[in-house]
Amino acid sequence: MVVGSASRGCQVAVIGAGPGGYVAAIRLAQLGKDVILVERGPRLGGICLNEGCIPSKAMIHASDLAYDVREGASMGISVSNVSVDLAQMVRWKNGIVTRLTGGIKFLCDKAGVEIVRGEAELIEERRLSVQTADGQLLIDFEQAIVATGSSPMELPGFPWDGTRVIGSREALELDQIPGRMVVIGGGYIGLELGSVYRKLGSEVAVVEFLPRLAPALDPEVGEALTRRLEQLGVELYLGHKAEALEDGEPAQVVISPVDGGESVRVPADVVLVSVGRVPNSSSLGLETVGVDTDDKGFIQVNEKMQTNVPGIYAIGDVVGGALLAHKAYQEAKVAAGVICGESVAFDNVSIPAVIYTDPEIAMTGLTETAARERGHNVVTGTFSFKASGRAMSLDSTEGFVKAIADADSGRILGIVAVGRGVSEFIGEATLALEMGAFLEDVGLTIHPHPTMSEALQEAVEAALGKAIHQVNR
């Protein structure tokens, strides 16, 4: 119920305080704009800080620790009676969320960003209505940025009930380790969270429609991941479709091969549905002001993050593409820069991506397949972590680094890495791409020894036929 109505003005209104919105608001304030940041949720930070990137990585780390202490026998470490208190693990994770989201509030306050709590809707080209706890607030703006993010997609036949059929949010809040978990969707979120529960002791089955994991990457990546997941005891049903949920204790997930054949019933105490995300664009008043979306509801923008309506920008998950926090950060800086008259655009060479499974998968630039499809005469070099002293010392020799380059010019086109901790050096590989580096540039760069990042230098040297720590092909 609207109990009152007030109005305010500002130069820029930002809707949504996730990685897109809060970064845009802070940057705008740094550049001297009077900014209002509107957030409907109880905390700033969006999906990323509250129920996405950070909480999932905290749970991954904790489950790795629980797993590693049980697996230390070959190094002479045996720990008996290891027990996991999931409720405490979740409390620890929530403590991190509280610290980080509070930190964002502090940074916004320090930058002079005004925060308004409530649900925003565009009601005119230059006016927002915000439903706050105290009533309706009208905000008149000169320019606006829509950064409302995305939500998990529902799967027909598997309606969420928050306990038996859950999404990623609930999977990060369980207080008991499920006996049997079925994960529907073998994308990165499903695989990361499925691995967490497998390492904590659940029986985990993953049902994926496509015939292989990591289908956007070169086949050896999915093969390495599949091998390791099977070694961990994750049951993989690739090329299978989840069709129905049958009641019972446990419930049964009915799945069938995509290319025909007998259906199978997989028992589940908990079903985690992770089949994609949809943009939060439907109740924003976009039609009222004439902002164009595509047929899935993602807002259409150009490389300056401008929508078709002058003065209205959109960034982050709500515009589609790679639904990743660091893409949202960059788009936020571009939109803020454009609003402040800077000559900037989203023209990055690469948006790196990481899957935090065991082993991690990190990639930047083109895959070998994509490079060939674009007509490059391709040369590749691969270095296996089986030959890496650092990987051996970490007892993590699964994986490799592969460098993909144009054979004629020697320019690096892409890097794919599979292995422990590879997320930490994919930024270096991305810098190489952004700077138009050639194989020699990375090959001549001294990498500290012993590190996993040496494998990047070795892979590049292998592409040059100059590998030292493995036999050149």
Check binding of 120 to ligand FAD (CB under 6 A): yes
Element (H, E) at 369: helix 368-373
Q: What is the DSSP letter of 300?
A: P
DSSP 173: S
Note whether 131 binds ligand FAD by CB under 6 A.
no
- Exposed e or buried b per residue across 174-194, where buried means at least 16 C-beta atoms within 10 angstroms of its C-beta: beebbebbbbbbbbbbbbbbb
Query: Which of 38, 165, 181, 422 lies at the binding interface for ligand FAD (CB under 6 A)?
Result: 38
**Of 8 and 326, which has the nearer Cβ to ligand FAD?**
326
Contact pattern from residue 264 through residue 293 relative to ligand FAD, giving x for each residue in contact according to CB under 6 A and a dash for the rest: ----------------x---x---------
Residue from 8, 9, 31, 40 touching ligand FAD (CB under 6 A): that is: 40
Q: Give the interface segment with ligand FAD, choosing from 147-155, 173-181, 424-432, 457-465 (CB under 6 A).
A: 147-155
Judged by CB under 6 A, the residue of 39, 208, 368, 454 near ligand FAD is 39
Tell me the chain's radius of gyration from C-alpha atoms.
Answer: 24
x-marked contacts with ligand FAD along 439-468 as a string, rule CB under 6 A: ------------------------------
- Is 376 one of the annotated active-site residues of the chain? no
Locate 99 and state its tokens: 């610290």
SS3 call for 348: coil
Please report the DSSP string for 411-448 in residue order.
Answer: BEEEEEEEETTGGGGHHHHHHHHHTT-BHHHHHTSPPP
Out of 41, 257, 297, 311, which residue is the one contacting ligand FAD (CB under 6 A)? 41
How many residues bind to ligand FAD according to rule CB under 6 A? 35
Number of other residues whose CB lies within 10 A of the CB of residue 157: 14
CB of 123 to ligand FAD, least distance (A): 12
Closest CA to 380 of 352, 413, 354: 413
Tokens of 272: 């985690």
Among 10, 12, 13, 21, the residue binding ligand FAD under the rule CB under 6 A is 21
Structure tokens that stand for 432 in this block: 């190489």
Q: Of 289, 343, 320, 427, nearest to 20 (Cα)? A: 320
Selected catalytic residue, list 61, 240, 449, 469: 449
Which H helix or E strand runs over 362? strand 360-365
Question: Does residue 149 belong to the site contacting ligand FAD (CB under 6 A)?
Answer: yes
Stretch that binds ligand FAD, among 36-44, 213-221, 230-238, 401-409 (CB under 6 A): 36-44
| Residue 325 contacts ligand FAD per CB under 6 A | yes
**Binding region for ligand FAD (CB under 6 A) out of 37-45, 197-205, 409-417, 443-451:** 37-45
Q: Which stretch binds ligand FAD (CB under 6 A): 2-10, 322-330, 392-400, 451-459?
A: 322-330
Q: Among 306, 275, 281, which Cα is nearest to 296's?
A: 281
Write phi, then psi, for 311 (nearest 5 degrees): 90, -10
What the block records as the tokens of 279 is: 């943009």
13, 19, 206, 362: residue in contact with ligand FAD (rule CB under 6 A) = 19
- Give the residue numbers marked as catalytic: 449
Q: Using CB under 6 A, list all residues that contact ligand FAD.
A: 15-21, 38-41, 46-48, 52-53, 56, 119-120, 147-150, 168, 189, 280, 284, 316-318, 323-326, 328
